[in-house]
Amino acid sequence: MQATNVHPIKGDTEAAMKLSVVVAVSRNPKAAEAIKTYRAVLDGLDLSYEILCMTNPDATEALAGLSKLTADWPELTVFERRPWSGEDGELATAYKRAKGDLVLTLPEWPELAPEELNKLFDAIDGQDMVVCARDNQPIGGTRQALMQRSFRLFFGHTVSDVFCRVRLCRRDVLEEIGGFGVRQHFIPVIAASRGYRVTESQVKAYSGEVEAPKFVFKPMGHLRALFDAVTLFVVLKFLYRPLRFFGSIGLPIFLIGAIYTAALLFGRLFLDVPLADRPALIFSVLMIVLGVQIIALGLVGEIIIFSNSRQIKQYKVSKIIKGDGKTAREIPQTDDD
Amino acid sequence: MAQVDISVIVPVFNEEDSVGPLCSAIVEALEPMNRSFEVLLVDDGSSDETIPRATAIVAKDPRIQVLRFQRNSGQTAAMSAGIEFANGEFLVTMDGDLQNDPKDIPMMIAKLEEGFDLVVGWRMNRQDKWLSRKLPSMFANKLIGKVTRLPIRDNGCSLKVYRADVIKRVPLYSDMHRFIPAMTIPLGARIAEVGVRHHARQFGESKYGLSRVLKVIVDLLTIKTLLIFARAPLKTFAGISLVSLIAGLLTFLMVQTDGDYRVVETAVFLLFVSLAVFVFLVGLVAAVIFQSKGKLEPPQFPSSQKVLQ
């Protein structure tokens, strides 16, 4: 990884960093202009901040613009041309490097009016993540509805503006969600389904001309997204209860196989129905074998969880509140799950 | 924090109206015992006024603490956190909705000190709807008793008292808080059951519904399976492997006695043998896992284990 411009952060030490702004640049050659539109707002926030801008090998033109921008914007750090496995990979890497207590994700083209960013910072109080709902969503209709239905089906939560990439969240939320793999549009619903407080902020969409990338139908890409959603659903729902997942698949297969085998044997023994020249018995026994194997795998998973249950914490204590008879003090807890 | 005699663990989630009266009731019930105590309110990610109100209570009484979860993690996680952070010799768990009566705690601790490891409450005059709450609960309790062979009358009652050194060894995960008595089976815990008071919910709404019945059944099957396999993993898997091997051998004998080469029966024979090998190997893996976590496998099911009422 090569950082073109790593600067000390304005004013504060690294430990006191309050905000990390993360931008993944891959398709917009004018990304520098887009990012620049937010500078006035970011400078006016009265927070120490850093901007981590990840670029991929295709973003040659954007990289040139961003490199110029770093000259007079010390908070901006550009990471050059590493193949990150797409936008999701870029974001995952940036989230790992982020040092701020809060992480603001911005897209490479302006999605909302810059001054609307302030609304996100107002809304984060008491919340873990703030997502945007633009008043004039450029992408909607069938795709939006389909995504919302899928999210609700798999994760039990959805957001009004699925395709908006602007979001503000606490870094420790991303640290946990990062473990499930970062898929851009899934982040808010994963956070909500993990019990984090996710709220929406109504914002005005960017009013200027935007050359946002056009939607391209990629069957394999959409198939991968669906596969990711199913995988995430299984992981989120059955991470601590593998036997329930494997059992719900293996037990029906086993039972069908067992009943079928019993019927075949009954026919052979009492009704003189020949079996030797029919593959039915192989099929039914195969179902028994498959069912037992699936259940056994689930059982091993459950045994692992059971045996490690005192080490695997399903909770994170954010603070302990104690009193001395007059006042209460909050003791933040920093140990990880 | 220094060791105390009693830790009361109360998971709370959006109980802004209950938290004040609850803390007062616990303190009133425990102070006459003249024993040191602490109250741990485990906030499971409340979004109402629970935390500000609890903080105000904590400021006045240093015996009360709040553990605040970063996010909603469920009742088992809240219980688990409370148990981990508790410093008491005896741990009391109860609901935060004022349906349990803290006045029962002294009586339950007295029972525990008779030589039990776990005292379970059962709601004598339960103030819930018959069809949606009592009937499923009766069914579930019967079923749990039959399956675990531990006939607890009211598994759903959260008011329980434990010896800390016993409950801190019980693996708690997923939604297993309902099955704590069953989970103490491998530890050979002595369990007593006593009748306790029950009040109708005064504030807010219940977080449970009929949907949990199915969850309880599935959890129960999981617990039972785990308890069977935890006792002797290799032996149990080897038993299943042996059954598969015998089925394979029987099929093989059929092939031999028939004389002709029977493709179907040979294939079935091979399937059963492969299953036998697979299951045995899985058993080896399970045995290694349990072996590496020796503290969780005192697999002595004491025949003397019983519930005293």
Q: Compute the mean pLDDT over every residue in chain A, rounded to the nearest whole number.
A: 80
Strand order in the sheet with A328-332: A328-332, A317-323, B64-69, B37-43, B4-12, B88-93, B160-163, B118-123, B191-196, B307-308
pLDDT value, residue A70: 84
Whether A153 shows a pLDDT value over 70: the answer reads yes
Nearest CA in chain A to B291: A307
Superfamily of domain B4-229: Spore Coat Polysaccharide Biosynthesis Protein SpsA; Chain A (3.90.550.10)
Highest mean pLDDT among A138-142, A274-278, B180-184: B180-184
Structure tokens at A31: 């990304």
Q: pLDDT tens digit string along A49-64?
A: 898 888 877 777 778 8
Nearest CA in chain B to A295: B279
On chain A, the residues whose CB falls within 8 A of the CB of B218 are: 244, 247
pLDDT value, residue A139: 56
Whether B114 shows a pLDDT value over 50: the answer reads yes
- Is B289 in the A-facing interface, judged by CB distances under 8 Å? yes
Whether A254 shows a pLDDT value over 80: the answer reads yes
**Residue A177 and residue A337: Cα distance in Å, rounded?**
12
B49-66 burial string, b = 16+ CB within 10 Å, else e? ebbebbbebbbebebbbb
Contact of A275 with B264, CB cutoff 8 Å: yes
Nearest chain A Cα distance for residue B262, angstroms: 6
Closest Cβ opposite residue B61 in set A288, A315, A323: A323
On chain A, the residues whose CB falls within 8 A of the CB of B264 are: 275-279, 281-282
Put simply, the answer to whether A322 touches B218 (Cβ < 8 Å) is no
pLDDT value, residue B288: 87
**Residue A122 and residue A38: Cα distance in Å, rounded?**
17
Put simply, the answer to whether B60 touches A325 (Cβ < 8 Å) is yes
Interface test with B, best of A261, A307, A319, A329 (most B CBs within 10 A): A307
Q: What is the ipTM of this complex?
A: 0.77
Put simply, the answer to whether A243 touches B76 (Cβ < 8 Å) is no
Contact of B191 with B302, CB cutoff 8 Å: no
Highest mean pLDDT among A266-275, A325-334, B41-50, B253-262: B41-50
pLDDT value, residue B2: 65
On chain B, the residues whose CB falls within 8 A of the CB of A196 are: 70-71
Highest mean pLDDT among A141-150, A220-229, A251-260: A251-260
Nearest CA in chain B to A240: B174
Contact of B98 with B25, CB cutoff 8 Å: yes
Whether A137 shows a pLDDT value over 70: the answer reads no
Could you tell me what percent of chain B has a pLDDT over 90? 40
* Average pLDDT, integer, range A283-290: 93
- Residue bearing the bigger pLDDT, B86 or B223: B86
Put simply, the answer to whether B58 touches A194 (Cβ < 8 Å) is no
**Residue B263 and residue A277: Cα distance in Å, rounded?**
8
On chain B, the residues whose CB falls within 8 A of the CB of A289 are: 271-272, 274-275
On chain A, the residues whose CB falls within 8 A of the CB of B70 are: 128, 172, 196, 315-318
pLDDT category of residue A96 using cuts at 50, 70 and 90 = confident
Among the listed ranges A39-43, B146-150, B235-239, which one has the minimum average pLDDT value?
B146-150
Q: Identify how many contiguous H helices and E strands chain B contains and give both numbers.
A: 10, 8
* Average pLDDT, integer, range A139-154: 77
**CB-hemisphere CA count at 13 Å for A176?**
23
Q: Which residue in this structure is represented by tokens 């921008």?
A: A69
Interhelix angle for A280-307 vs B233-258, to 10°? 170
Nearest CA among A197, A200, A174 for reference residue A127: A197
pLDDT category of residue A335 using cuts at 50, 70 and 90 = low
* Average pLDDT, integer, range A143-170: 82
* Average pLDDT, integer, range A7-31: 66
Nearest CA in chain A to B275: A289
Nearest CA in chain A to B297: A307
Closest Cβ opposite residue B264 in set A241, A278, A319: A278
- Residue bearing the bigger pLDDT, B282 or A33: B282
pLDDT category of residue A82 using cuts at 50, 70 and 90 = low
Could you tell me what percent of chain A has a pLDDT over 70? 86
Phi–psi pair at A331, nearest 5 degrees: -110, 105
Q: pLDDT tens digit string along A302-313?
A: 888 888 877 777
Put simply, the answer to whether B73 touches A289 (Cβ < 8 Å) is no
Whole-prediction pTM: 0.74
- Is B291 in the A-facing interface, judged by CB distances under 8 Å? no
pLDDT value, residue A210: 62
Among the listed ranges A140-144, A328-332, B90-94, B139-143, which one has the minimum average pLDDT value?
A140-144
Q: Compute the mean pLDDT over every residue in chain B, rounded to the nearest whole number.
A: 83
Highest mean pLDDT among A127-131, A180-184, B1-5, B124-128: A127-131
pLDDT value, residue B26: 95
- Residue bearing the bigger pLDDT, B218 or B21: B21
Nearest CA in chain A to B261: A276
Among the listed ranges A5-9, A182-186, B180-184, B225-229, which one has the minimum average pLDDT value?
A5-9
Q: pLDDT tens digit string along B133-174?
A: 777 778 888 888 888 888 888 888 889 999 998 888 888 877
* Average pLDDT, integer, range B237-250: 92
* Average pLDDT, integer, range A231-243: 82
- Is B285 in the A-facing interface, judged by CB distances under 8 Å? yes
* Average pLDDT, integer, range B58-76: 90
Contact of B41 with B67, CB cutoff 8 Å: yes
pLDDT value, residue B299: 38
pLDDT value, residue A145: 82
* Average pLDDT, integer, range B1-7: 83
On chain A, the residues whose CB falls within 8 A of the CB of B69 are: 315-318
Q: pLDDT tens digit string along B13-51?
A: 988 888 999 999 999 999 999 999 999 999 998 888 899
**Residue A279 and residue B304: Cα distance in Å, rounded?**
52
Highest mean pLDDT among A318-327, B153-162, B297-306: B153-162
Give, as one character, the DSSP assignment of residue A136. T
Closest Cβ opposite residue A279 in set B56, B244, B264: B264
pLDDT value, residue A1: 44
Whether A336 shows a pLDDT value over 60: the answer reads no
On chain B, the residues whose CB falls within 8 A of the CB of A274 are: none
**Residue A38 and residue A138: Cα distance in Å, rounded?**
20
pLDDT value, residue A13: 42
* Average pLDDT, integer, range B96-121: 92
Nearest CA in chain B to A277: B264
- Residue bearing the bigger pLDDT, A291 or B157: A291
Put simply, the answer to whether A306 touches B74 (Cβ < 8 Å) is no
Closest Cβ opposite residue A309 in set B66, B172, B290: B172
pLDDT value, residue B212: 65
pLDDT value, residue B56: 92
Nearest chain B Cα distance for residue A206, angstroms: 32
**Residue A136 and residue A221: Cα distance in Å, rounded?**
26
On chain B, the residues whose CB falls within 8 A of the CB of A286 are: 271
- Give the Å distances, CA to CA, from A264 to A279, A288, B215, B250, B266: 11, 14, 34, 16, 16
Q: Which helix (DSSP H) or strand (DSSP E) does residue B37 occupy?
A: strand B37-43
